[in-house]
Amino acid sequence: MKKFKEFAIREELIKAITELGFEKPTPIQEQSIPILKKGNMDFIGLAQTGTGKTAAFGLPLIELLDIDQKIIQALILAPTRELCVQISNDLNNYCKYLPEVKIAAVYGGASIETQISQIKKGIHIVVATPGRLMDLIRRKKINISTIKYAVLDEADEMLNMGFQEDIDSILENTPAHKRIWLFAATMPDEIHAITGKYMHNPYELTVGEKNTAAENIEHIYYVVHERDRYTALKRIVDVNPDIFAIIFCRTKAETQEIAEKLIKDGYNADSLHGDLSQAQRDKVMMHYRDRALQLLVATDVAARGIDVNDVSHVINYQLPDEVELYTHRSGRTARAGKSGITISIINTKDIGKIKQIERLVNIKFIYAKVPGGVEVCEQQLMALIKKILKVEINQQGISKYLPAIFEELKDIDKNELITRMVSLEFNRFLDYYRDAGDLNIDFSKKDHIRGKNSGKTENSMFINLGVMDGFDNGKMLKYLMKTTSLPADTFTRINIKSVYSFIDIKEAHFQDVIESFKSEVYKGRKVRVDISEGSKNKKSSSKPERRKFGKKKRSLKT
Ligand code: ADP
Ligand code: MG
């Protein structure tokens, strides 16, 4: 299957999704649409986040509608209000050329009256949170006895949130012959409770390995003292001036606290969690989607499944308590085939969790050092220069001031002028970072990881040069040979990443290589090398038997 056309779905749908930029189906869409379109089977679809599950069920669902009959034919349940809104927006976009199709989103926190009147006008699809739907059923304001299809999106999260009973009674209000389609990114054991109870011989489709994270994400962790967590967070933001991130905290209180601190410290941040009113949450999400907001500080529940384009970083201010949540958080970046970075700030106690996530999610973490003051200043300076180069000049507005300004500055030469302009903005960071200490904990001796003393050295070196600096494997090899004066076969493997790389080095020469870089400068930038934990993608052989870091039930209030 190469094109959406080959699915033989309505022309109007094809036209609309083509305009949305969908050229060809994603793997989950390719495999699920032909099956779901038949409408005669229960279905379980598991695929990584950001792989297009909404269209995977949305398109066949719309295709199966009898549009002339204005009764509710399909119900979509989702765990949060944000997701309901997102899904119904997506469906409405697919229906751009099928304006007769009516979709209502019903969720708590918004006026139930408005939702009731929308339902009264006649709808084909209802997208709902379990709580609000229950409310509407109790008030007899919605009739879902006519549905043919029930979709459970992010089903594992609905169970986590304790919606089991609501889902039970909702499904009791639906006809026995309806089909259930369940979609999720991870498959914790709890989900079998739903499948066993409600589904008949479901067709099970897993795209990619179960419980895996997207491949195009780099997973990095920093190790700091507990007291330095917040400072480390600021460094991450400062060293990435163009960052567009979601910062995950474990509780509502912490989410609020970190957002407030960031705002106070002058960052463009806001929080998203369940204690905010619906209006506040909508506003925050709108700002974030419009990029008017740079840092979204969120709880796991509030940010579940959220699809915002081009999120550059997911930051785990604290590691989540469950491995699956790590996957869900990371999935907020690297959507629709793009790449992204997840950074976890941990303390030495959490190193075991890192190992566990590596094993169960089958990813490889990269240990990196929290950037130092010099690095932050360097990045800020370069960002400022880029801004100067990109700034739009408003000739009309500025021209009348220019003669006087030129006159005032006429005795300063160009270089000095540049230095002064840059210092103006830069001094702020320089002042702040002049005495900034090293936040990293030296845990290489503690045998927490395979460090150089543990006897299992991978001989892998981290270097802060990568694709962005114009390197590919060949160029890097030449550069390494030149800098170290060692032969090519010293370097057994080169792995170039965006802004850094990993070099595997023959054991006998490892220290020599590290030494050679002691005072190396590349294009005016200090080259930083470090002993790395290794960048090899190890395949995990262990089964994902225990996922909760030893805890039985998630006991968080998010
Ligand atoms: P999931 O539910 O699997 O996490 P979504 O359904 O939210 O993923 O889709 C992720 C992103 O990918 C959305 O922005 C969506 O518009 C985009 N997308 C989905 N299908 C396609 C496609 N076939 N081609 C291009 N982009 C797509
Ligand atoms: Mg989704």
Question: 475-486, pLDDT tens digit by residue?
Answer: 999 999 999 998
Q: Whose CA is nearest to atom 14 of ligand 1?
A: 307
| All structural domains of the chain with their residue ranges | 4-206, 217-372, 374-433, 458-535
Q: Which two tokens stand for residue 548?
A: 């909760």
Cβ of 316 below 6 Å from ligand 1: no
Cβ of 26 below 6 Å from ligand 1: yes
Tell me which architecture the domain covering 458-535 has in CATH.
2-Layer Sandwich (3.30)
pLDDT tier, 536 (very low <50, low <70, confident <90, very high otherwise)? very low
Q: What is the whole-number distance in angstroms between the Cα of residue 128 and the centre of ligand 2?
A: 14
pLDDT at res. 544 = 32
Q: Which amino acid is at 187?
A: M
Mean pLDDT, range 316-338, rounded to an integer? 85
Q: Which of 1-15, 347-361, 371-385, 503-517 has the lowest mean pLDDT?
A: 371-385
- Give the number of other Cβ atoms within 10 Å of residue 215's Cβ: 11
- Top mutation candidate among 9, 14, 26, 157 for ligand 1, by most atoms within 8 Å of CB: 26
Mean pLDDT, range 200-211, rounded to an integer? 76
What's the length of the chain? 558
The phi, psi pair for 266, rounded to 5°, reads 90, 15
Taking Cα atoms as reference points, which of 246, 293, 307 lies closest to residue 86? Answer: 307
Locus of tokens 């002042």: 431
Q: What is the whole-number distance in angstroms between the Cα of residue 109 and the centre of ligand 2?
A: 21
Contacts of 37 (CB under 8 A, 6+ apart): 7, 9, 60, 63, 64
CA dihedral 225, 553, 203, 133 (to 10 degrees): -110
Are 4-206 and 217-372 equal in CATH topology? yes
Q: What is the whole-number distance in angstroms between the Cα of residue 214 and the centre of ligand 2?
A: 14
The burial of 165, by beta-carbon neighbours within 10 Å (0-12 exposed, 13-18 middle, 19 or more buried), is given as exposed
Q: Which amino acid is at 494?
A: I
pLDDT at res. 444 = 52
Cβ of 186 below 6 Å from ligand 1: no
Cβ of 336 below 6 Å from ligand 1: yes
- Top mutation candidate among 127, 335, 339 for ligand 1, by most atoms within 8 Å of CB: 335
Q: Would you give the DSSP letter of residue 202?
A: -
- Shortest-distance atom of ligand 1 to CA 49: 4
Q: What is the whole-number distance in angstroms between the Cα of residue 285 and the centre of ligand 2?
A: 16
C-alpha span between 30 and 203 (Å, rounded) = 15
- Shortest-distance atom of ligand 1 to CA 4: 23
What ligand is nearest to the CA atom of residue 289?
1
Q: What is the whole-number distance in angstroms between the Cα of residue 105 and the centre of ligand 1?
A: 19
| pLDDT, tens digit (0-9, with 9 covering 90-100), for 426-466 | 777 777 776 677 888 876 544 333 333 333 345 788 888 88
C-beta of residue 131 within 8 angstroms of C-beta of residue 108: yes
| pLDDT, tens digit (0-9, with 9 covering 90-100), for 235-265 | 999 999 889 999 999 999 999 999 999 999 9
What ligand is nearest to the CA atom of residue 335?
1
Cβ of 490 below 6 Å from ligand 1: no
- Shortest-distance atom of ligand 1 to CA 21: 25
Cβ of 50 below 6 Å from ligand 1: yes
Cβ of 327 below 6 Å from ligand 1: no
| pLDDT, tens digit (0-9, with 9 covering 90-100), for 257-269 | 999 999 999 899 9
What ligand is nearest to the CA atom of residue 80?
2
Q: What is the whole-number distance in angstroms between the Cα of residue 36 and the centre of ligand 1?
A: 18
C-beta of residue 33 within 8 angstroms of C-beta of residue 54: no
Q: Whose CA is nearest to atom 19 of ligand 1?
A: 52
Cβ of 22 below 6 Å from ligand 1: yes
pLDDT tier, 345 (very low <50, low <70, confident <90, very high otherwise)? very high
Helices and strands: H and E segment counts in the chain: 21, 20
Q: Whose CA is nearest to atom 9 of ligand 1?
A: 52
pLDDT at res. 458 = 54
pLDDT at res. 454 = 35
Q: What is the whole-number distance in angstroms between the Cα of residue 92 and the centre of ligand 1?
A: 14
Contacts of 70 (CB under 8 A, 6+ apart): 102, 122, 123, 124
- Give the number of other Cβ atoms within 10 Å of residue 38's Cβ: 11
| pLDDT, tens digit (0-9, with 9 covering 90-100), for 112-130 | 999 999 999 999 999 999 9
Q: Whose CA is nearest to atom 5 of ligand 1?
A: 52
CATH 3.40.50.300 holds for 4-206:
yes
C-alpha span between 113 and 117 (Å, rounded) = 6
% of the chain with per-residue pLDDT over 90:
43
- Shortest-distance atom of ligand 1 to CA 153: 2
pLDDT at res. 1 = 54
Cβ of 335 below 6 Å from ligand 1: yes
Q: What is the whole-number distance in angstroms between the Cα of residue 90 and the centre of ligand 1?
A: 9
- Top mutation candidate among 3, 9, 24, 51 for ligand 1, by most atoms within 8 Å of CB: 51
| Residue 539 scores a pLDDT above 50 | no
Which CATH number is 217-372 given? 3.40.50.300
